[in-house]
Amino acid sequence: MAFTSLATAVCLLMVFNGCLASWWSLGVYNDLSERVVDSTPCESLTNILNSSQQTFCNYNRKIVNSIAIGTRRGIVACQQNFANWRWNCTTFTGENLFGAFVKNNTRETAVINALLTAGAERQIALDCRDEKLPNCTCQINGDNGVVNSTFFLYECSFDIAKAHDIMSKFLETPSNDDTAIIAEHNHNVGSNLVGQRYRKCRCTGFSGSCSVQTCYFASPDIDTIGQRVREKYGSSVEVTVNASNSALQPVVQTINNHDNELVYLKRSPTFCNQDTTYGILGTVGRQCSNNLSDPDSCDIICCGRGHITVTATQPKQCCSFIYCCRIECQDCGEETFTEYFCK
Ligand SMILES: *[C@@H]1O[C@H](CO)[C@@H](O)[C@H](O)[C@H]1NC(C)=O
Ligand SMILES: *[C@@H]1O[C@H](CO)[C@@H](O)[C@H](O)[C@H]1NC(C)=O
Ligand SMILES: *[C@@H]1O[C@H](CO)[C@@H](O)[C@H](O)[C@H]1NC(C)=O
Ligand SMILES: *[C@@H]1O[C@H](CO)[C@@H](O)[C@H](O)[C@H]1NC(C)=O
Ligand SMILES: *[C@@H]1O[C@H](CO)[C@@H](O)[C@H](O)[C@H]1NC(C)=O
Ligand SMILES: *[C@@H]1O[C@H](CO)[C@@H](O)[C@H](O)[C@H]1NC(C)=O
Ligand SMILES: *[C@@H]1O[C@H](CO)[C@@H](O)[C@H](O)[C@H]1NC(C)=O
């Protein structure tokens, strides 16, 4: 991934240009080898963290480290899950990590807020369970204990509620502008996905008889959360913010339950044409699929401009297993393959 080189550039740019990015950029801070972030003093994050987050960092350096690692995992999950979409979660160097268009509070902004929050919160829960943070431990109360004669639950579980509590303190929203209200809603959507925990068990009875099981609660992995967020991208709800009570009101009034949906204020750009001011690369030259049922079908990705078909050949190798024990390969002609690219 073009990720590592980019990350260093972001910070240099921010340090020297003094531009203010958002906490999202924690996810690309340095090359995020875990120790580098950990040993970075909070003061050098002034271009990423706003004043309240700076204060948070001063008292919770280790937690900010977990947030950075989790945010990065969220970004990776975003790029993997959206690789075949017109908007593919591209990141840039500088102030606007995902491009300036996200300031319009579109569905993509919602995806980013939900997925990066989920990544961070999940990482906090993981680090709590592994006793890496001073503020929390593995969850040993609640659901734990003997459930019935054959079923025990005593291993460390994720304490999702505590992780949520910690992340909320980091994201604390004293301001009441539309952007903050929308962001908070989408943070919670991401957070709820982390909270959809499930029971993982293994057999510990005599000779694997499974008469006793050891279980704990785990959270969905970040890739699964990424898939859920991508599904929600499709069903996200356009809203307005009621100025008198800050309530989110769906524009289409027949939608009455948007509590667990991503919400957005403005329609997205098409992402078809390049617009570098807003961080939109356009789809000229994008590889696409000639299969109409694929999400990256040329029909969708190329925005009606059509595509070019490139047929190429590559040397083929034929390998066989020789008894015993090696594999032998030989060149055996060429194979052709076809690729499609947007005009
Ligand atoms: C942001 O929203 C405004 C108002 O709807 C619109 O005119 C503008 O084109 C949008 N910008 C981008 C980059 O989508
Ligand atoms: C974490 O624990 C430290 C030390 O006890 C405390 O100062 C800090 O406020 C706690 N942070 C959170 C987010 O609860
Ligand atoms: C014990 O509880 C588990 C979890 O609720 C359940 O799946 C299992 O069937 C129960 N076993 C018995 C013997 O009741
Ligand atoms: C800092 O950023 C968070 C999350 O983006 C936001 O909720 C909070 O209002 C900001 N605080 C200040 C003092 O701007
Ligand atoms: C905004 O909220 C107020 C107070 O709850 C309500 O009376 C009003 O009808 C709402 N505005 C719209 C446009 O729905
Ligand atoms: C995302 O799309 C842009 C152009 O739209 C392309 O340059 C880039 O390689 C794509 N990234 C991935 C990871 O596919
Ligand atoms: C097109 O894609 C669909 C779904 O991804 C798949 O089931 C189908 O076999 C593909 N068709 C061709 C011709 O590859």
CA of 286 to the centre of ligand 6 (A): 7
CA of 220 to the centre of ligand 2 (A): 26
Written as six digits, the tokens of 63 are: 């937690």
Q: Which residue puts its alpha carbon closest to atom 13 of ligand 2?
A: 166
Q: Confidence class of residue 16 from pLDDT cuts 50, 70 and 90?
A: very low
More confident residue, 12 or 196: 196
For residue 256, what are the CA distances in angstroms to 201, 215, 240, 260, 343?
38, 38, 13, 11, 42
CB 64 within 8 A of CB 56: yes
Question: Over pLDDT 90: what percentage of the chain?
Answer: 54
CA of 169 to the centre of ligand 4 (A): 10
- Mean of the pLDDT values across residues 266-284? 95
Q: What is the DSSP string of 155-168?
A: S-B--HHHHHHHHH
State the pLDDT at residue 18: 41
Q: Which residue puts its alpha carbon closest to atom 9 of ligand 6?
A: 286
Instruction: Kindly identify the ligand whose nearest atom is closest to the C-alpha of 264.
Output: 1
Instruction: Kindly identify the ligand whose nearest atom is closest to the C-alpha of 53.
Output: 4
| Domains observed in the chain | 3-282 (no CATH), 285-343 (3.30.2460.20)
Instruction: Kindly identify the ligand whose nearest atom is closest to the C-alpha of 293.
Output: 7
Q: Which residue puts its alpha carbon closest to atom 7 of ligand 7?
A: 293
State the pLDDT at residue 147: 53
- In this prediction the pTM is 0.84
In sequence order, the 6+-apart residues with CB closer than 8 A to the CB of 24 are 71, 75, 97, 98, 112, 116
